[in-house]
Structure 1
Amino acid sequence: MQHKKRHTNARRRFIKKAAVLAAAPVMIGHHPGLAKQQVLHHVFFWLKRPGSAADQKALVEGLKTLKAVPQVRQLLIGTPASTVKRDVVDNSFQVSELMYFNSTADQDAYQEHPIHKAFVEKYSHLWDRVVVYDMITV
């Protein structure tokens, strides 16, 4: 009887794992709330005082407020990675943010949103230079 019970439990675990593995291809690359064709808004910031940890921290905190804009599907914030130095890599910036939008209309609405405008007004004194790359996925 004990052997049969163990066999049944093992079979249930196997079926559960098989179901998860069968669903994996469908889930790979799926980001809830993101459309298949997306607009990515990548912004690079060079601080007026590049060595100031306080300025970098303040800018990161300000960037986090932008997640509250309803059109922003995903927001990633980071600093230069310590990757192998190559001629094609520019890691001279101090902070970067990457946003995902469902459409160019959503990205346009984000630009005019009061939270975005308040961010620019409150934190623009920290940066010396900003470069933006917008792309639409194909």
Structure 2
Amino acid sequence: MTTTRRKFLTAGAVTGAALASAGTLAAAPNTAPKLLHHVFFWLKNPNSAADRAKLIAGVKSLAAIETVRSIHVGVPASTEKRDVVDNSYHVSELLGFDDVAGQDAYQVHPLHKKFVDEHQHLWSKVVVYDAMKVD
């Protein structure tokens, strides 16, 4: 028996609608972290690929801290240049926490202190934005 693309897509749509009406496809619970900790780093030597790689590796190591619920390590995106976009930083980290207590525990965690001790010589400037989710 051969199935055409149209039959396959139609069958999938019908099955999806049936499951949704039966309540099987309930909306996923909102699992987004309640507190986001966004840190922007400016390197002392912005042209050093080795410094950037070392900082990125160090930031990624912070994922091992128990209270970190999510992590995104990035560099400036090559998006449209606009007056409201600041892409002057070199590396960023966006960490998610359940609450302020989790972020507080992160700040004094030995892995975080080790990261700062071993990497602070790489940056000339750091800016932090902490945001609490509004329900």
Q: TM-score range by the shorter chain?
A: 0.7 to 0.9
How much does 1:40 deviate? 0.4
Unmatched 5+ stretches in structure 2: 2-9
- Name the residue aligned to 1:73: 69
1:19 aligns with 2:19: yes
After superposition, what is the alpha-carbon deviation per residue over 1:6-62, rounded to whole angstroms, capped at 9, x for unaligned? xxxx979954774379655612x743xx55xx1100000000001111111000000
Q: What letter matches 2:35 in structure 1?
A: V
Find the counterpart in structure 2 of residue 100 from structure 1. Answer: 96
- Find the partner of 1:90 among 73, 86, 98: 86
Partner secondary structure for residue 49 of structure 1: coil
Per the normalisation by structure 1, the TM-score is 0.80
In structure 2, the residue corresponding to 1:122 is in which secondary structure? helix
Amino acid in the other structure paired with 1:125: H
Q: Which runs of 5+ in 1 are unaligned?
A: 3-9
Runs of 4 or more consecutive aligned structure 1 residues displaced over 2 Å after TM superposition: 10-25
| Preserved contact between residue 62 and residue 112 of structure 2 (Cα < 8 Å) | yes
> What root-mean-square deviation, in Å, do the aligned CA atoms of Structure 1 and Structure 2 show?
2.6
Structure (1 or 2) with the greater helix fraction = 1
Tell me, in whole angstroms, the C-alpha distance in 2 between the residues paired with 1:49 and 1:119.
18
SS at match of 2:67: coil
* Cα deviation digits, residues 56-111 of structure 1 (max 9, x gap): 10000001110000000000000001111111111000000000000011101100
AA at the equivalent of 2:85: V
TM-superposed deviation, 1:135: 0.7
2:127 maps to 1:126? no
1:60 counterpart = 2:52: no
Change (3 A) 1:24 1:119: farther
Query: Sequence identity, in percent?
Result: 49
* SS at 1:134 equivalent: strand
Counterparts of 1:103-114 in structure 2 under 5 Å?
103-114=99-110
Q: Secondary structure at the match of 1:132?
A: strand
Aligned residues: 125
Q: Distance in 1 between matches of 2:42 and 2:36?
A: 20
